[in-house]
Amino acid sequence: MSELDLEEMYAVAISVAREAGQIIRDAFDKEKEVDTKQSAADLVTESDQAVEKMVNSRILGKFPNHRFIGEETTAVSGEKHQLTDEPTWIIDPIDGTTNFVNSIQEVSFSLGIMVNKKAVIGVVYAPIKDEMFTARLGKGAYLNGKKLKASKITDLKQAVIITEGGSSRDIKVVEDKVKNIHTLITHTRGIRSYGSAAINLCHVAAGRGQGYIEYGIHIWDFIAGALIASEAGAVVLDPTGCDLDPLRRRILCACSAEVAKGLSQILTHLDMGSD
């Protein structure tokens, strides 16, 4: 891929994000028809599907040889994904669908592009708050054009950590997650929960919080946000401390290696399968 190719892909990504944002914004205050997927807390709406369809056709129209992984197409096909070296556009049409349905503002469109199995472009657009987070590999991360820098905190006791309940209602999973929340409250300055993985990663990138941990999310939830966070100086790993596996459905993001290590050591690590 030449620099020109990447620049062109980046421009299309931004344009597609703005268009998706408009659809989300228009639908946000209206009544929504809601279906469920894996559990009563795993929601999907016609807006999720409309956004994904629009994005899919925009991308294939411009880059017919590229690959596409989308949350809603995957939900229908039930397929397992394999990453190849080809340029792959990975999208979550609405991250934070529960927020979307319940009129909570932390809703975002997430688009990450991988080449040679590495994320090279990341765009997360939160249209209700009009916050456009972007990153290109090696070129820094930005929020509405302002360069982002993660916190410099190294002491877990001074850190505020973001975590989510997630959509699983499996008894053992919920038990472990509540245990982790308890552990986090006793070892850190506090926990926060916003309802969108992509936005959570962007918050760590922006220094609004010092860590984010979640088990059970999908590649499309975090691929863009993870690049934005690492380009802002944060670390992004598997919760155990190993390298992040993009298909392993879990992530730890921290403002510093020390906070990351502190978190890895105290948490119960859940296996949520693979994408």
Partner 1 sequence: MVITSSNSQLTEQELEDMFNTALQVAKEAGNVIRDAFYKEKKVDTKMSAADLVTETDQAIEKMVESMIVKKYPTHRFIGEESTKDHEKHKLTDDPTWIIDPIDGTTNFVNHIPEVCFSLGIMVNKKTVIGVVYAPIKEELFTARLGKGSFLNGRKLQASKITDLKKAVILFEGGASRDAKILEDKMANTHSLYTHARGMRSYGSGALSICNVAAGRGQGFFEYGLHIWDFTAGGLIATEAGAVVLDPSGGELNPLHRRVLCACTQEVAHSLSQLLVHIDMGWD
162, β-bridge pairs: 192, 212
Out of 100, 194, 215, 222, name the contact with partner 1 by CB under 8 A: 194
Q: Is 243 annotated as a binding residue?
A: no
Q: Is 92 annotated as a binding residue?
A: yes
Told to judge if 88 belongs to the known catalytic residues of this protein, a careful annotator would answer no
Strand order in the sheet with 211-215: 160-163, 211-215, 250-254, 235-237
Nearer to partner 1 (CB atom), residue 100 or residue 125:
100
| Phi and psi, residue 2, nearest 5° | -85, 165
Report the C-alpha dihedral over residues 256, 262, 267, 273, rounded to 10 degrees: 40
Q: Is 48 annotated as a binding residue?
A: no
* Beta carbon of residue 86, minimum distance to partner 1 (angstroms, whole number): 36
* Beta carbon of residue 48, minimum distance to partner 1 (angstroms, whole number): 16
Report the C-alpha dihedral over residues 57, 61, 62, 64, rounded to 10 degrees: 100
Told to judge if 221 belongs to the known catalytic residues of this protein, a careful annotator would answer yes
Site membership for partner 1, residue 41 (CB under 8 A) = yes
Site membership for partner 1, residue 117 (CB under 8 A) = no
Told to judge if 95 belongs to the known catalytic residues of this protein, a careful annotator would answer yes
Nearer to partner 1 (CB atom), residue 59 or residue 107:
107
Distance, CA of 234 to CA of 162 (rounded, Å):
14
Site membership for partner 1, residue 104 (CB under 8 A) = yes
Start-to-end Cα distance in the chain: 26
Catalytic center residues: 71, 92, 94-95, 97, 221
